[in-house]
Amino acid sequence: MVTVVAHCLLNPLTRVRGLAPVAFQPEEYMVQLPCPEALYLGLSRWAVTRNQLDVPHFRRFCRALIKPHADLLEMLAREGVSLRIVGLAGSPSCGVITTSSGYTGGRPRAAEHAHVSGRGVFMEELLEELTRRGVAFAAEEAGGK
């Protein structure tokens, strides 16, 4: 089994400033996905919600990041390796079961948002690509309450 993980589960320095690391126990064989938010918005970014990231350009950016990882995962699966994909609960990018919604824009301020059922944009694109290729996987998320 290979565990495919959201970047910040192994490197909490890519999380939005002020968010605590998520407890996660690394496995023996792992693939660390890139952090689309850190790469797209930088490390000094504000917290965002899925509805803010669900735009064509960010989706194209995510698909470009995913391609080489999907190639590797497809090859591993062809060799008989089981894939366990672990996202981050409530993440607008890497949520598998829950994501965030609610911020409607405007000047920077504390904004209310909610964790809702659904996938983050990056995980949605990754899992759709693996499904399109016929790659079997199990998907879950860490950090849920």
Domain-located, residue 97 = yes
Which residues 6+ apart lie within 8 Å of 52 measured at CB? Answer: 92, 103, 105
Domain-located, residue 59 = yes
Domain-located, residue 83 = yes
E strand or H helix at 108 = none
As a whole number of Å, the end-to-end CA separation of the chain is 26
Domain count, the chain: 1
Q: Give pLDDT, residue 107.
A: 67
Residue with tokens 């970047």: 7
> Model-level pTM?
0.90
Using 50, 70 and 90 to split pLDDT, how confident is the model at 109? low
Question: What amino acid occupies position 50?
Answer: R
Helix, strand or coil, per DSSP, at residue 135: coil
Domain-located, residue 54 = yes
Domain-located, residue 10 = no
Domain-located, residue 3 = no
Helix, strand or coil, per DSSP, at residue 25: coil
Looking at the DSSP assignment, which residues form a beta bridge with residue 30?
3
Across residues 59-81, what is the average pLDDT?
97
Inform me whether the pLDDT recorded for 108 exceeds 70.
Answer: no
Domain-located, residue 78 = yes
Domain-located, residue 25 = no
Dist. CA 128–CA 120, nearest whole Å? 12
Helix, strand or coil, per DSSP, at residue 98: strand
Least confidently predicted of 41-45, 53-57, 71-75? 41-45
Q: Which domain holds residue 138?
A: 47-145
Q: Give pLDDT, residue 145.
A: 60
